[in-house]
Structure 1
Amino acid sequence: MSLAQHDEDSGTATHPETRGIELVSDSERHGRARDLFFIWAAPNFSILNFTMGATLILLGLELWQALLVIAAACCLWVLPGIIAVSGPAAGTSGSVVTRAMYGLRGNKVFVAFVGWFIGAVFLSLTWLASSFMGADLLGRLGLDDPVWVPIGVTVVVAAITIVIAIFGHGLILRVYPLVAVALAVIFVLVAAFILPTVDWQYTAPAPLTGIALWSSISIGFTILASNPLSYINSPDIARYLPRSTKPSHIAAATALGGALPSFVFTSVGALLATGVGVDGFAAGIDAVIFEMLPSWLGPVLVVGVVLNTIALNSMTAYTSSMSLQAIGLPLKRIPATVIVGAVGMALTIYLVTASTFLDAVNLMMQFLVVVSGPAMAIYVVDALRRRFAYDGLALFDDRRGRAYWYSGGWSIPGMTALLSGGLVSILCLSTDLWVGPIAQATGFIDLSVPAGTIVAAVLYTALSRTSLAKDSTR
C-alpha cells in the first residue's frame, strides 16, 4: 500500500478518511490511550449539561440532592469506557462488533433502529442548541426571524460538521485536543459569571418528600444517564489504537474524558437554576445565560456552543456513517456521512419549529434510554464475557454456519435481552407524553434505566450460557 493510499484509508488532518468498517491492520495502528481523553472531553463541554443540571432544580430537588444525582449518573461513563476496548481488539467499528451479540442478520436490525435512532437524536439535539443560541445572538443584532434564522444557523453548522466527519479520525485526533482546551476556557469563564448569582442557601419552594422526591430523583437520573448510555460508538473512536494498548488505559481515558466535564458543567447548570428560579426559565435557558454575561462574553459563548456542537456531531456523523455500512447498504463512508447529516439536519429543523429547547432536550433524553440502556448493558456483558477477544475476520464472514450465524443469522440471547430490556424500560418510563404502568403503580418513579439495563444484562448472561449462544469462536 502506498503512503498516499494509507492516508486516504486512515485519514489525516489534511486527507479525507475513506476507510469505513474495514479492518485496521496492525501496521496502521497509532496513537495512545490518553489521546481519547481529549476526544471525549471536547463533546462534553456542552450547554446541554447546563440544561440538564438546571432541570434537576426545576424538578424540585434541593441542591445537594441534585449534585448527588449528577455524580451517580456520571459514574455510568465507565460503561462506554469498557466497550471502547473492543475497538482495538477487533480492529473495526462497534456497529460490526455487535454482530457477535445479535447475529449477522439481527445486527442489521439492531444497527438500523438502535444505532440510527441514537445518532439522529444527538445530531438534532446539539444542532438544536446551536440553532437557538445562534438565533438569540443574531436576534440581538437585528436578525430576529423566529423560523429562518435558526434554520440558517442549523444549515451552516451542519455543513461544517459534515466536512469534519468526512475527514474523519485523523482530523478528529489532531483538532479535538485544541477544541477541548478552547471550550474549557469558554465554559469556565461563563461559569465564573454564573456563580455569583447562585443561591447557596437555596431551598426548594415546596420541599419534596417520600414518593414525590424519589419520582423527581429518578426522572432526573434518567435524563442524565441517557448521555453516557448513548455512547455505544466509543469503540469506533478507539479502533486505530495499537492492539497492545492496555484495556484499563483505554477505559479510563474514555470514561474520565466524558465524566469530568459532564459533572462540572451539569453541576454549574444546577447552581444556575438556584439563582434564577422556576419562573426565570420561561424565556429559555439561552436567554437566561445571556442576561448574566457581559456583552463581550455572549458572542464568545455562542462560538463555544457552535464548537461543541461541531465536535459532538462530527463524531456522531462519523460513527453513524459506519452504521449505515454495517447494515449492508452499498455505500462508501463519505456518501454515508452526507446522508447521516441530511437526516439529522431535517430532524433539527422540525424541532426548531415545533418545540422549546428545554422541552426537546428533556423529552428526547428520557425516551433515549429505552434503547440505549439495554444495548449498552448487553455490549458490556459480552465484552467482559469474551475478555475482549473479538475475531475481526470472523465478524466479516457472513456465510451460513460461520461463527456469528447463530440461528438463521439471529442471536436469540442478544435479541431476546434487547427486546425484553427495552420493554421493561418502556413500562417503567415516566415522561410528559408517556407514563408506563409500572411507573404509574410506583407513583411516577422512573426506573427505566436500572430496570432496563439489569433485565437486559441478566437475560443475556443467562441465555449466553445455553446452546442458543453456540458459536465457533468459543
Structure 2
Amino acid sequence: MSQTQSPEVDFVDTASRPETRGIELIDDAERHGRARDLFFIWAAPNVSILNLTIGATLILLGLEVWQSIAVIVAASLLWVFPGIIAGSGPASGTSGSVVTRAMYGILGNKLFVAFVGWFIGAVFLSLTWLASSFMGADLLRRAGMDDPVWVPIGVTLVVATVTVLVAIFGHGLILRAYPYMAAALFIIFLLVAAFILPTVDWQYAAPEPLSGAALWSSMTIGFTILASTPLSFINSPDIARYLPRTSKPSQIAAATALGGAVPFIVFTSVGVLLATGLSVAAFDAGIDVALLDLLPAWLGPVLVIGVVINTIALNAMTTYTSSMALQAIGFRLRRIPAAIIVGVVGTALTIYLVLSSSLLEAANLMLQFLVIVSGPAMAIFVVDVLMRRYAYDGVELFDDHAGGRFWYTAGWSIPGLTALLLGGLATALCLATNVWVGPIAEATGFIDLSVPVGMLVAGGLYAGLQRTALGRQGRP
C-alpha cells in the first residue's frame, strides 16, 4: 500500500470510530471544517496546571508581579509561530512530520523526526501526566490512600489509558470533543482562580528586588521556560491538515495562535498571583499540594478532574501526532499500534519521574532543555513555510526515490541539518539552567538568550543556505 493512499477506501473522519489514517494524503473530497475550529482545539490543552506551575516559577526567580506579567506577554507572542506553520497541513494534505522532508531531506527527516519530534513528545507526555499523577495521588492521600508508590503509578496508568484511547479515535473525536473540554476547563480553572484571589498578596514585593544583570538573568530564564511551550508545537500542521485546501493561512494562523496564547496568558498569570500568597514551606511541599490546600474540600476533586481533562486533551494530541511521527520515520506500523507504543513509552517515563522528582523541578529543567531542539526546529519550519509561500506538493513529499525533489544530497538536506545543528549549538551556548550554564550565558552574568539567539542562527543560516545550489534543489 502506498503511503499517499488512505488505508480504507470508505474512510470517514468521525468521532464515533477509530481513525485508521496516518500520514497518508487527504483528498480534497475528504477535507472539511473551518479555520476557526482550531481555536478551541488549541485552547483545551493550554488551560493547564502546568501554566500555573511555570507562572509561580517566575516569582521564585525573584521577579515582581508586573515583571512576571511582562515576561508572560512577551513569551505569548511566540504562539504566532505554530500558527504560521499550521497552514502547511492543508496545503500539503499530510502531517508536519512529512512536510519537514522539505527541510531535511528524505533520509535526514527520519533522523530529525526520530530525535526532535520524539524528544518533544516525550517531554510533554511525561510532564502533563506527571501533573495529574501528583495531584490525583495527593487527593487520594487525603482520602486515606497514601501508598507513595502504587497510588501515583495507578493514577498514571488510568489517565494514560484514557489518553491513548482518545488518540486512537483521532482527529474526528478531537474536533468534536475539544470545544466541550475547553469550555469545561475554562469554568473549572476560573472557579479555582476565584478562590485563589483572596489569598493573593496585592502588595507583594520581592524580598530582594533585582536590578541590572540579576534582573535580566531572571527575566530571560523565565522567558526561556515559558517559550518552550509554544515553540514545542511543531505538530500544529497535523491538527489542521483536514481543512479544505482553500482555507486561508492567515485565518489558520490566527485561530491556532489565539487558541494557544489566550489561556496561556490568563492561567500563567494566575500562577504568578497564586505564588505571591504562598510561603516557602508551601513551595517546598509542591505547587500542586499547596493549591489543593487553598481550596475548599468540594473544589479539590473538581480541580483534579480539570487537571485530568487537560492532561488527556494535551497528551491525546501529542500521542496522536507522535504516532504519525513513527510512521514518518519509516516504521511499518499502522497509526493505532503506533499510538499505543507512544503511550507505553510516555507512561514509563512518567512513572520514573513521579517517583524521583517534584513537579516544579521536573517542569523547569525539562522545559529549559527543550528549547535546544524546539527553538531552532521551529525557526527553520517558519522560514521554509514563508519562503515557499505554502507551496507544498504532497505527492512529491512522498517520493522517496533518489532523484526525487526532496532527495537533495544522497537523501540529506545540508542547509536544513546544518542550520538545525548550529542553531542547537548556539542555543546551548546561551542557556542557563541549574545543571548547565553555557559559556556565553556565564560571560553575560547568567543572562539566558538561548531562544532568540538559537532561532536567529537557525533561521538565518537556513534562509541563506537555501539560496545556494544546495537549497535550490528542492525549490519550486
Range class of TM-score, shorter chain = over 0.9
Please list the CA deviations of residues 405-440 of structure 1 after superposition, one character each: whole Å capped at 9, or x if unmatched: 111111111000000000011111111111111111
Q: Indicate if the aligned counterparts of 2:90 and 2:244 stay in contact, CA closer than 8 A.
A: yes
**Residue 3 (structure 2) aligns with:** none
1:326 to 317, 328, 349: 328
Q: Indicate if the aligned counterparts of 2:380 and 2:462 stay in contact, CA closer than 8 A.
A: yes
Matched, 1:141 2:138: no
Matched, 1:99 2:101: yes
**Residue 266 (structure 1) aligns with:** 268
Q: Indicate if the aligned counterparts of 1:10 and 1:19 stay in contact, CA closer than 8 A.
A: no
Please list the CA deviations of residues 303-338 of structure 1 after superposition, one character each: whole Å capped at 9, or x if unmatched: 000000000000000000000000001111000000
Listed as ranges, the matches of 1:213-232 within 5 Å are 213-232=215-234
For residues 430 and 8 of structure 2, the distance between their equivalents in structure 1, rounded to whole angstroms, comes to 51
**Residue 298 (structure 1) aligns with:** 300
For residues 75 and 387 of structure 1, the distance between their equivalents in structure 2, rounded to whole angstroms, comes to 21
Matched, 1:448 2:474: no
**Structure 2 residue identity aligned to 1:121:** V
Shift of residue 473, structure 1, vs aligned partner: 4.3
TM-score under structure 2 length normalisation: 0.98
1:433 to 432, 435, 458: 435
**Residue 176 (structure 2) aligns with:** 174
Change (3 A) 1:473 1:68: same
SS of 1:34's equivalent in the other structure is helix
Shift of residue 279, structure 1, vs aligned partner: 3.8
**Residue 113 (structure 1) aligns with:** 115
Please list the CA deviations of residues 85-134 of structure 1 after superposition, one character each: whole Å capped at 9, or x if unmatched: 00000000000000000000100000000000000000000000000000
2:14 to 9, 12, 15: 12
Q: Indicate if the aligned counterparts of 2:102 and 2:474 stay in contact, CA closer than 8 A.
A: no
**Residue 80 (structure 1) aligns with:** 82
For residues 4 and 75 of structure 1, the distance between their equivalents in structure 2, rounded to whole angstroms, comes to 39
For residues 123 and 274 of structure 1, the distance between their equivalents in structure 2, rounded to whole angstroms, comes to 29
Shift of residue 5, structure 1, vs aligned partner: 4.5
**Residue 63 (structure 2) aligns with:** 61
**Residue 377 (structure 1) aligns with:** 379
Structure 1 gaps of 5+ residues are none
SS of 1:11's equivalent in the other structure is coil
For residues 285 and 5 of structure 1, the distance between their equivalents in structure 2, rounded to whole angstroms, comes to 47
For residues 470 and 293 of structure 1, the distance between their equivalents in structure 2, rounded to whole angstroms, comes to 59
Structure 2 gaps of 5+ residues are 1-5
1:188 to 180, 190, 203: 190
Work out the percentage of aligned pairs sharing the same amino acid: 73
**Residue 352 (structure 1) aligns with:** 354
For residues 70 and 473 of structure 1, the distance between their equivalents in structure 2, rounded to whole angstroms, comes to 37
**Residue 256 (structure 1) aligns with:** 258
For residues 355 and 421 of structure 1, the distance between their equivalents in structure 2, rounded to whole angstroms, comes to 30
**Residue 339 (structure 1) aligns with:** 341
Please list the CA deviations of residues 168-215 of structure 1 after superposition, one character each: whole Å capped at 9, or x if unmatched: 000000000000000000000000000111111111000011111111
For residues 178 and 76 of structure 2, the distance between their equivalents in structure 1, rounded to whole angstroms, comes to 21
Q: Indicate if the aligned counterparts of 1:29 and 1:242 stay in contact, CA closer than 8 A.
A: yes
Q: Indicate if the aligned counterparts of 1:111 and 1:327 stay in contact, CA closer than 8 A.
A: yes
Shift of residue 280, structure 1, vs aligned partner: 2.5
SS of 2:116's equivalent in the other structure is helix
For residues 10 and 447 of structure 1, the distance between their equivalents in structure 2, rounded to whole angstroms, comes to 46
1:408 to 402, 407, 410: 410
SS of 1:23's equivalent in the other structure is coil
**Residue 285 (structure 2) aligns with:** 283
Shift of residue 276, structure 1, vs aligned partner: 1.1
Q: Indicate if the aligned counterparts of 2:408 and 2:474 stay in contact, CA closer than 8 A.
A: no
Change (3 A) 1:90 1:48: same
Matched, 1:236 2:260: no
Q: Indicate if the aligned counterparts of 1:11 and 1:167 stay in contact, CA closer than 8 A.
A: no
For residues 119 and 428 of structure 1, the distance between their equivalents in structure 2, rounded to whole angstroms, comes to 24
Change (3 A) 1:11 1:312: same
For residues 4 and 443 of structure 1, the distance between their equivalents in structure 2, rounded to whole angstroms, comes to 56
Q: Does 48-57 or 193-202 show the bigger shift?
A: 193-202
**Residue 418 (structure 1) aligns with:** 420
Q: Does 439-448 or 98-107 show the bigger shift?
A: 439-448
Q: Indicate if the aligned counterparts of 2:124 and 2:315 stay in contact, CA closer than 8 A.
A: yes
Change (3 A) 1:472 1:269: closer
**Structure 1 residue identity aligned to 2:393:** D
**Structure 1 residue identity aligned to 2:417:** M
